[in-house]
Amino acid sequence: MRKFATLETEMVNPKTTDIDSLGTYEILKVINNEDKKITKAVEQVLDKVAIVVEHCVNAIKNGGRVIYAGAGTSGRIGFLDAAEVVPTFGVPEGIFTALIAGGDEALKRSVEAVEDDVLLGESDAKKIGVNSKDFVIGITASGRTPYVRGVFNFAKSQGSSTALICNVSNPELQDVSDIVISILTGPEVIAGSTRMKAGTSQKMVLNMISTATMIKLGKVYKNYMVDVLVLNEKLKERAKRIIMESTGVSYETASQYLEKAGNKPKLAILMILTGKDFDTCQKLLEEHWSVNEALKHI
């Protein structure tokens, strides 16, 4: 077992040892300079992120889910990404699912010791019925969190593929991970405070994974989120603008087609672009997922 002191995320940052004696602006400059290293670290793992995206796409196409698992900051970041996918891309709740050590209570406050419970991870994975169709992504800065190991243990026993997002080299959990994304953000500004660079890098990578997955699944046309859920007046107006800008029609026409399409912007766009009726366009999208693919089969 690797000692905590040897983990990159636990080491003391030599560039910030005097941070407690600096003025407010100087403190912020130090933090900002360290944060500039995050995008470079993420750039180094894009090839692995691309592989993870393909696994996510395949899982969802085959009726499975993308499941995030983590503890503390990492777990909360997973919950945030999973929650935001639903209204942004119009996917049903549960397609992206998140597990956090300590459950919902851990979203609001720190719950002690639960991250060290392997059996809790196994139990939580079992409760949500992780199966071979699912793709499980563990998120842990240290690359060793026992709770995540428990989730992975159950997932592997059910035939699920797994990926690890961490911030250290040679993570302990690589033995139960099919894909390892090690984002080497280095020592934190405050030693061991992985809510900082490590957490930011994890959020960036999850943004990439969920967004790229949704693009590949046809949830984006050009660069518009055409499956946005129309849940209120603000979102209805956004949907109309998306239809107008992506097809060139007037506000009035966009409004009419949004109504005809049952408040589904993507369907409205395809109806406008093809001149076909609701049923024809609905069938095309069911078969081909995206506007671009549907247009090829007119």
For the annotated catalytic residues, the residue numbers are 84, 115
Asked if 77 and 70 count as a contact pair (C-beta separation under 8 A), the reply is yes
* Burial class, 52, CB count within 10 angstroms (exposed 0-12 / middle 13-18 / buried 19+): buried
Beta-strand pair 179-182/135-139: unpaired
Handedness of CA 207, 210, 211, 213 (dihedral sign): positive
Strand residue runs (E) in the chain? 66-70, 96-100, 135-139, 161-166, 179-182
**Packing angle between helix 24-43 and helix 197-216, nearest 10 degrees?**
40
Asked if 155 and 138 count as a contact pair (C-beta separation under 8 A), the reply is no
How is residue 91 annotated by DSSP?
P
| Cα–Cα dist 263/269, whole Å | 11
CA distances from 219 to 37, 91, 113, 138 (A): 31, 9, 39, 25
Joined tokens for residue 176: 């139960």
Return the SS3 of 42: helix
